Structures are given as structure tokens and as C-alpha cells.
Amino acid sequence: MNLKVAEPHEVKCTGYALIKTFVTKRGFTEPDLQIEIIDHMVCRVEDMMSNNYNLSLAHAIHLAHSEFGIMGFSVFEDAMRNNLQKRYIKIFRNLYIANFNWKNLPLMAAFIYLVNIAFSAINQPEVVFTSTVIILMLALMVNGMINSGRYKRYTKMLTFKMGSVYLVISIVVFQLYNVLMVQLKLYRHINPNFTGLLFGGVLLMLLITFYTINKTQQHAVATCRELEERYLQIAS
């Protein structure tokens, strides 16, 4: 997330908990968005108290909040949310592209080839597709339970919400394959080998998307935890 955290100062030691409570009470539940706003508030409060030694911490917090105008954090929230979304999209894109390196390409080709062999051996596209969907749904359920236990409150982060969008888009594409090739039985008019290779390619793209979503979420959670721990260390 590349946030700039100011150097330790007394206001951070005494004010982090108060500012976090102040921000949380205003409805910010996403940890990544919350820490962005807290970081901004801490730096602003520090500036105010450095320029006016008679200013109390509570008063400085309210003054910093009043600078946002009658809309409060709303406008700033929208800007931060958009910024985070762009950042996560960039991270996702870079991680996705990184999968297609010279080391992985032979493995990808081998995967598609093996799927094609299995597809041709079974020779029942409907059975193959249905079985694949069941396996994928079970895998997603297990992955969701693991993430819930591993990340807990971090599952409220924007990156998890965006990951759900990518997941839905991927499933729609997979379902499009189902409609065209299986339901409409277009595979009957196409070379069987090509049908198997196409299925392997679509399945591979879906798996890479799932993997990249998880990697993006891991990256975002690690960055958010690092910032939180840094502030907690300063506050302690």
C-alpha cells in the first residue's frame, strides 16, 4: 500500500488509540481504508499540536476532522477508496501477468495437455464439466473457510470485496463455456482434441485467477498488518 508513516512522535504514543476509536465510530470497518484515514489523521494532529503546544489532543482531533468540512470524512473516504481500488487492481494485474513466465509456461502447457487427455478419455463433456464445477465449488468453500480463520477481521478489507468481483467474472466466463460448448453441444461440431484443449485453457485461466486473487489478498493483508503493528509498537 506504500503508505508513508511519519516518524515516531509523542502524539502517536498517546493518540493512536483515541484517533482509531474516533475513526472507527464513524463507520469505517474496512481495515485497509481505516488505517489510511488514521495515518492521515495522526499526521495532521501531530502538525497541529507541534504548532500549538496549548492544544489538547481531543481538540486537535476534532479540528483535524473539521477540516474535511460538513461532509466529514465522506469525500476523503471516496478518494481513499478509489485510490485503494486502483492500487489493488494494479497489484492483481502485475501478479497475474507474473504467472506467465518462462518457468511456468511449460507447466501450463503440460496441464492443458493432461486435461485434454482426461477430457478425451472420458468423452462425456457434460460429466467432465459437472465434475469440475463440483470440485471447484468445494475448493472455493475450503479456501473461504481457511481465509476466514487466517485473516478474521481482515476479510472486511476492500481487496476481499474486489476479489469476489473477479471471482464472479471468472465464473461467468466458465459458465459461458458451459452454455456454448456443453448446453448447446457445440463440441459435436468441433475437433475433439480442440475441445479438450479449449476446456483445459479455460480451466487454467480460472485457476490462475483464483491463485492471483489469493496472492493479492495476502499482499494487502500483510501490508495492512505491517502498518498497524508499526503504530502499535510506537503506541506501546
Q: Domain check: are 83 and 16 in the same one? A: yes
Please state, in angstroms and rounded to a whole number, the distance separating the CA atoms of residues 20 and 37. Answer: 9
Q: Please, are residues 167 and 206 in contact by the beta-carbon 8 Å criterion?
A: no
Domain boundary among 88, 111, 130: 88
Q: Please, are residues 65 and 37 in contact by the beta-carbon 8 Å criterion?
A: no
Query: Which CA distances in Å does 94 have to 83, 87, 160?
Result: 17, 11, 17
What are the helix (H) ranges across 9-157? 10-24, 31-51, 57-66, 74-98, 105-122, 125-151
Q: Domain check: are 158 and 81 in the same one? A: no
Query: Which CA distances in Å does 230 have to 4, 20, 30, 42, 74?
Result: 12, 14, 18, 13, 26
Q: Domain check: are 81 and 180 in the same one? A: no
Q: Domain check: are 20 and 79 in the same one? A: yes
The pLDDT, as a whole number, for residue 6 is 39
By the 10 Å C-beta count (0-12 exposed, 13-18 middle, 19+ buried), 44 is classed as middle
Q: Work out the end-to-end distance of the chain between its first and last CA atoms, rounded to an integer number of angstroms.
A: 24
Q: Domain check: are 109 and 83 in the same one? A: no
Please state, in angstroms and rounded to a whole number, the distance separating the CA atoms of residues 107 and 199. Answer: 16
- Is 95 within the bounds of a domain? no
The pTM of this model reads 0.77
> Over the chain (236 residues), what is each successive 10-residue block's mean pLDDT?
42 66 78 84 83 80 77 74 89 94 94 91 83 87 87 84 82 80 73 82 91 91 84 65
The pLDDT, as a whole number, for residue 114 is 94
Q: Domain check: are 77 and 119 in the same one? A: no
Q: Looking at this protein, which amino acid is placed at residue 18?
A: L
The pLDDT, as a whole number, for residue 195 is 83
Query: Which CA distances in Å does 4 have to 15, 40, 51, 52, 227?
Result: 18, 9, 21, 24, 9
Domain boundary among 43, 68, 88: 88
Number of structural domains (the chain) is 2
> Which one-letter DSSP state was computed for residue 6?
P
The pLDDT, as a whole number, for residue 7 is 42
Q: Domain check: are 61 and 122 in the same one? A: no
The pLDDT, as a whole number, for residue 12 is 52
Please state, in angstroms and rounded to a whole number, the distance separating the CA atoms of residues 136 and 200. Answer: 14
The pLDDT, as a whole number, for residue 1 is 41
Residue labelled with grid coordinates 464445477: 133
Q: Which residues span the domain enclosing 150? A: 100-224
